[in-house]
Each structure stands twice: as C-alpha cells, then as structure tokens.
Amino acid sequence: MKKTAFLFPGQGSQSVGMAKDLYDEYAGVRELFDMAGDQTKIHLDRLCFQGPMEELTRTVVLQPAVTLVNLALLHVLRKENITPSLCAGHSLGEYSALCAADVFSPQDTVRLVHKRGVLMDREAEKYKGTMCAVIGLSWDQVADVVSGFSQDGEGKAVTIANHNGETQIVISGDPDSVKKAGEKLKEQGGRVMPLKVSGAWHSPLIRGAVEEFGTVLDACPFQAPSVPVVFNVTADVENDSGKIRVLMLDQLCSPVKWYDSMIRMLDEGVETFVEVGPGNVLSGLLKRIVPEGFPGKIVPVNSMKSLELFFKDGI
C-alpha cells in the first residue's frame, strides 16, 4: 500500500450544507452529530446543513462544526478500512488529526475544540484583531517586517500566524498594526489580502486563553499516537503524550508551520495526500508545495461523491 497521509482542515473550510449527504447515509455519522450536540449544546446539524453562514462562522460554532465534519468523513474512511501512515491538521484541524491517531476520543475531541472556540472568542472580544495573507515574500522577509511591531502594554502586536506555502504567509495582530505592517510588506513587493476573521489567531493577543485552556487539556486523557502526527508548532512528529499536551497548548499563540510540515511528509515518502474535511483549501496549498512532476495523488475527500470516487480509484 502506498504511504498515505490524512490532512484535516480548520477554520475557513466551512460551507452551508456540509456533511448533509453523509448524515443521510450513515448511522454512525448521525451518532457523531448527536454526540456533538450533547457535548456543545449547539444545534450543529441545523447550522451545518442550513446555516446561516453568519452563524456558522462564529468561532464558538465553527470550531466544533468543522471538526465534526472532519470526524464524519474519518468515520466513513475507517468503515472502508482506509487508514493513514501519517496525519496532520491545519490549526483547528490538528485536533481531528489527533483523533485519527487515537490520541483523543471523538467525544474529547469535540469537547476540546468547543472549549477552545469559547476561549478564543472571549479573547477576541477583549482585544480586537485581524489577519492578512501575504503572497510573494519569504518567511525571512515577512519576519523582518513584523519584528518592528513588538508587543506593548496596549496589546498592539503583529506576528506570523501561518506559513502556508514557501511564499504564502499569514500575519496576525491588532488591526492598526496589521494595516501598517501590510503597507510595508507591499513596499517590498508582497501582495497583501485581508482575511475575514473575528480575531488575531495564533498571536499574543489571545494569550489570555492559554492558562484556562491548559487546565482543560490537563483534565483530558492523552494517549500515545497510533500513527505519527506532524505537529503545527514544530513541523515534527512527537510520540510522548505529555509533550503532545504542551504542543497543543503552545499551538494557540504559535505559528502554524504548515509548509515545513508538508515538506516533512514529502521527506517521509508520502505518496498520497487525502484532505479529510469540508472544502479543498489544503489540497490547493499542497499543489503549490509539492515538486513539479510529483507522481503521487492529492485527493480532497469532502462529500459522498468524492468518497465514492476515492473508493473506486483506490489509494
């Protein structure tokens, strides 16, 4: 069997109607939705299937909703005895990756991401923040600019939040500082695009969530991964459950090293990348990362139709 990686998306992949076809087809998916509704006290089935988008994209709803769809698709893949050699997840998606690697149960996965969303939303209300994508500049070029916007007593800061591609980077911070940093990055030849987000994710502006979320993580049982997981914070694997707990806490305010994580997977000899979740954002990023002439497959699995094609074609 070819070496296969499961990649799980996070915020930004959602759409109204996601997983409705899976819900109609599989009793196990309906059980997942029932469980998640009980855990969160949110009508996730209604919001995923009917929206409205404005409500679905609220952080406190979106984090468990996207995770639930990821887990629904994972459930179907497991029913067909399709398992990964490695896993990774983009930011929020890392929790789904850990569930796929049996570090968390589905119940604990939903509980953790719901609490994570509540705490992140709380901090975003305290410290207004925003994010921008920067295209065409390297990590070093962007880091040099944002280093000029250091944290101060008023919570003003800019930091790199995501390294999504070799020259595709996301910065995060308070709106005024992000705007000024964006202007400097444009002067250096970068293309800067504001993102529709409700907070400065992966930045010091949400560090107020760290202590309380640490308590939540401490109360959650962590198992050693059944398959290797490449982590956002380090772009490396980790097998020690105690160290994984620390990585997941650090992830809140640390950059997502997605580009380096994908390079690590390519170095590990992954031939088939399966994006397990709504949309195809990670597949799009990966197509710009793999070398020209990459002989393997990049497959977004996000619906019954895509699952059927995947099962027909094989890994």
Mean pLDDT computed over 224-232:
98
Q: Say yes or no to pLDDT of 315 above 70.
A: no
Q: How far, in Å, CA of 223 to CA of 239, rounded? A: 9
Q: How far, in Å, CA of 60 to CA of 258, rounded? A: 24
Q: CB within 8 A of 266, min separation 6: which ones?
A: 289, 290, 291
Q: CB within 8 A of 300, min separation 6: which ones?
A: 275, 279, 280, 282, 283, 306
Predicted confidence band of residue 78 (pLDDT cuts 50, 70, 90)? very high
Chain centroid to Cα 45, Å, comes to 21
Amino acid letter, residue 24: D
* pLDDT tens per residue across span 8-20: 999 999 999 999 9
* pLDDT tens per residue across span 169-212: 999 999 999 999 999 999 999 999 999 898 999 999 999 999 99
Predicted confidence band of residue 122 (pLDDT cuts 50, 70, 90)? very high
* pLDDT for residue 157: 83
**Choosing from 13, 91, 96, 283, which is the catalytic residue?**
91
* pLDDT for residue 314: 72
Instruction: List the domains of the chain with CATH numbers.
Output: 4-124+206-313 (3.40.366.10), 130-196 (3.30.70.250)
Q: How far, in Å, CA of 119 to CA of 207, rounded? A: 10
Q: Say yes or no to pLDDT of 155 above 90.
A: no
Is 91 one of the annotated active-site residues of the chain? yes
Q: What b/e sequence results for 67-102 when a residue is b if at least 16 CB atoms lie within 10 Å of its CB, and e otherwise?
A: bbbbbbbbbbbeeeebbbbbbbbbbbbbbbbbbbbe
Amino acid letter, residue 66: V
* pLDDT for residue 313: 83
Location of structure tokens 């996965």:
109
Q: Say yes or no to pLDDT of 153 above 70.
A: no
* pLDDT for residue 150: 65
Average pLDDT across the chain, whole number: 95
Q: Report whether 255 contacts 113 (CB < 8 A).
A: no
Predicted confidence band of residue 36 (pLDDT cuts 50, 70, 90)? very high
Amino acid letter, residue 227: V
Q: Report whether 194 contacts 181 (CB < 8 A).
A: no
* pLDDT tens per residue across span 263-291: 999 999 999 999 999 999 999 999 999 99
- For residue 255, is the peptide bond before it cis, meaning its omega torsion is within 30 degrees of 0? no
Q: How far, in Å, CA of 223 to CA of 132, rounded? A: 36
Is 15 one of the annotated active-site residues of the chain? no
The residue among 152 and 43 whose pLDDT is bigger is 43
Predicted confidence band of residue 221 (pLDDT cuts 50, 70, 90)? very high
User: The pTM is what?
Assistant: 0.96
> In a 10 Å sphere around its CB, with 0-12 CB exposed, 13-18 middle and 19+ buried, how is residue 162 labelled?
buried
Q: Say yes or no to pLDDT of 152 above 80.
A: no
Q: Report whether 24 contacts 30 (CB < 8 A).
A: no
**Choosing from 202, 203, 261, 283, which is the catalytic residue?**
202
Mean pLDDT computed over 154-161:
79
